[in-house]
Amino acid sequence: MDSSSDEPNSLMSSISSEESQKHPDSHSRPPWSILAGGWIGSVQIALLFGIGLLSGVLSDRGHFRTLMWSSAVLYIVTNFTLSLTTANQYYAVLLSQGFGIGTALGLAWVPTFGTIGRLFPHHRDLAIGIAGSGASFGGIVQPILLNYLFQKSTLGFQNSVRVSAGINALLTLLGTILITRNAVSPQNSIKEKLNILSFFKEGPYVLLNLGFFCSEFGFLFPLIYLQLFARTRGIALGETFFTLSVWNGATAAGRVAILCLPARIHPITIISGACLGLSVCLFAYIPVRTFLDVMVVTSLGGLFYGAYCPHAVSASASQARNMEELGARIGIGTFIVAIATLCAPPILGALLADGFRWDTPIILAASTVLIGSTFFASAAILLRRQKLAHLIHMNTNS
């Protein structure tokens, strides 16, 4: 789904920061294994999406402001806590960057998009696309900023992280103030208990979530391992820092470009096509050897990923029978995604091992995205058949 997670509030920016911070003052790899390093990103993204089920329901029940301010405080504290760690303190980095920031983002991610969906019910796709584009634009700047601070400034790792954390703190406070001004008031929130299990009796919704699981498993390859992949292909260290910026820039362009499609195209159809294109791009990483090759494939992959992100959230929201289900529907989707994000990085890292054998993890990642595209296409077909059957039934009764 839309990762951004935001990563700080955008998954992309968080991953960009994390990967850049893994190489603070030297040109070497961090003092822990690829598998161990993968767990940091895995835990962070899993918490981002996994907590969405709880935060989505709480937001529906009128606790939006509490969730947003709790997220903001925790995010700022853990960002600055990271500056107290050193390169060989693996568990300290895992605690702050994985558990701390992951929890902070998880508290805010689903409530944010749920509120946007309620505020703009007739232009939901456009509003979510514009809001999510901030994640990609931030992901362009963040790796370049950190690269400059780490490699060319005299601040050192800890002070560089503090500079980045200070900037993120100001932006987080500003964003929280702005979005909580239009929060849904408690008196308009739902009080009755939602029957969440009934959602899984709907064929299209089940297929949609199966697609989320498979596709997200494959998405984690470029989001976490892109810089390492480029470095082991013989690309200079300074150039590898730009790979994530290129990915995020292409993602931003994809988010904007996809909004030009006719509104009659269902978001599930769009994400099915986007996953099909992205799976082809992932397979294309296997033969690349030069910086230009990496940039071309990364740009195309980022475009398809950008097309996917805003419509993944809209696809979940489109299955809600009323506004009161919005947060829960999105939250269930993010919880399914959390399972994939918890498993994917360690599995891909284990397949990669210390010999940097990229073919196997790339094939696995690309194949799962392709399978996800198939599930999405099946959900779209089933929805179309249900709609047609409903129209026939209405005409018969009239």
**pLDDT tens per residue across span 86-131:** 767 788 888 888 899 889 988 988 888 878 877 777 777 777 777 7
The CA distances from residue 133 to 51, 58, 139, 288, 375, in Å, are 22, 25, 10, 28, 26
Please indicate, yes or no, if residue 123 is contained in any of the structural domains.
yes
Cα 141 vs. chain centroid, distance in angstroms? 17
pLDDT tens-digit series, residues 268-291: 999 999 999 999 999 999 999 888
> Tokens in use for 258?
């996809």
Please indicate, yes or no, if residue 134 is contained in any of the structural domains.
yes
**What is the rounded average pLDDT of the residues 147-165?**
78
Please indicate, yes or no, if residue 230 is contained in any of the structural domains.
yes
**What is the rounded average pLDDT of the residues 67-73?**
93
Q: Quick check: 18 pLDDT over 50?
A: no
Contact indicator for 150, 244 with CB cutoff of 8 Å: no
Contact indicator for 2, 28 with CB cutoff of 8 Å: no
Which of the residue ranges 10-14, 158-162, 256-260, 283-287 has the most confident prediction, judged by mean pLDDT?
Answer: 283-287
Please indicate, yes or no, if residue 386 is contained in any of the structural domains.
yes
Task: Please report the pLDDT score of residue 193 as a whole number.
Answer: 65
Task: Please report the pLDDT score of residue 275 as a whole number.
Answer: 97
Report d(CA 257, CA 44) in Å as an integer.
29
Contact indicator for 259, 307 with CB cutoff of 8 Å: no
Report d(CA 206, CA 202) in Å as an integer.
6
Please indicate, yes or no, if residue 245 is contained in any of the structural domains.
yes
Nearest of 257, 258, 307 to residue 278 by alpha carbon: 307
Contact indicator for 395, 228 with CB cutoff of 8 Å: no
Give the residue numbers spanning the domain of 247: 5-185+195-397
Report d(CA 68, CA 15) in Å as an integer.
21
Task: Please report the pLDDT score of residue 192 as a whole number.
Answer: 56
Task: Please report the pLDDT score of residue 19 as a whole number.
Answer: 40
Please indicate, yes or no, if residue 258 is contained in any of the structural domains.
yes
Q: Does residue 192 come out as left (phi exceeding 0), alpha (psi in the -120 to 50 range) or beta?
A: beta
CATH of the domain at 99: 1.20.1250.20
Is pLDDT larger for residue 267 or for residue 263?
A: 267
Please indicate, yes or no, if residue 228 is contained in any of the structural domains.
yes
Report d(CA 119, CA 185) in Å as an integer.
12
How many domains does one find in the chain?
1
Please indicate, yes or no, if residue 190 is contained in any of the structural domains.
no
**What is the rounded average pLDDT of the residues 214-226?**
87
**What is the rounded average pLDDT of the residues 375-392?**
89
**What is the rounded average pLDDT of the residues 160-164?**
84
Least confident of 5-9, 244-248, 357-361: 5-9
Q: Quick check: 2 pLDDT over 90?
A: no
> Tokens in use for 165?
């954390």
- Which residue type, as a one-letter code, is found at position 217? F
Report d(CA 220, CA 226) in Å as an integer.
9
pLDDT > 90: what percent of the chain?
A: 23
Task: Please report the pLDDT score of residue 69 as a whole number.
Answer: 94
